[in-house]
Structure 1
Amino acid sequence: MSKTNSVLQRKNYGQINFKLKELLDSRGMTRNHLARKIDSRFEVVDKWYKNQVEKIDTDILARICFVLECKVDDIIEYKN
C-alpha cells in the first residue's frame, strides 16, 4: 500500500453507513420483530437500525440478509 492511501495520515477516507432503518421502514417491519426473527437482542438490531454499529458481526449480518431476503449492499454502503 502506498503511503498516500494510509489511514495514519488522518485524512478523510470515507465511512460505512448502515441502511437497516430504511429497509425495515420500507417493509413495515419493527426492530423487535427482526430481533426475534434473527434470534438476537433488540439492542443489537437497534444499533444497526441507528447506524451505530462499532464492529460488524458477520453472523448477525448473514441472519439479517437471510430473514430480509436481501444482499449485504442493501444494508451496508461505503461513502468516500
Structure 2
Amino acid sequence: MRIHLKEILEERDISLNQLSFRAEMQRTQLRNYRDNKIQRLDIDILKRLCYVLECDLHDLIEYIPNDTPYNK
C-alpha cells in the first residue's frame, strides 16, 4: 500500500501545517501518513483527508500487491 499524500500536498502547494489546521488533525499523525509510516489505515482519517483535499480515495492510496501471500 502506498499513500500519495506527499505528492498531493506538493501538487496543491499545501503545507503539512495548513493541512493539519484544515483537517483538524495532529501534524505527527499527518506526517506518518505523508511518509508512509503507518501500519493500519484508518478509514475516518482517509475520509477526512479526501474531503479536505477534495480528492478521491484512489487518488490518495494505491494498492501494491505483496509477493508473499498472507495465508501461508
Q: Give the TM-score normalised by the residue count of structure 1.
A: 0.77
Map residues 1-80 of structure 1 onto 2, 5 A cutoff: 16-80=1-65
Higher strand share: 1
Alignment RMSD, CA only? 0.8
Runs of 4+ in 1 over 3 A off after TM superposition: none
Number of residues paired by the alignment?
A: 65
- d(CA) in 2 for partners of 1:32, 1:55: 23
Q: Give the TM-score normalised by the residue count of structure 2.
A: 0.85
Question: Which consecutive residues of structure 2, in runs of 5 or more, have no partner in the other structure?
Answer: 66-72
Residue identity over aligned pairs, in percent, reads: 34
Question: Which consecutive residues of structure 1, in runs of 5 or more, have no partner in the other structure?
Answer: 1-15
Alpha-carbon contact 1:35-1:45 (below 8 Å) kept: yes
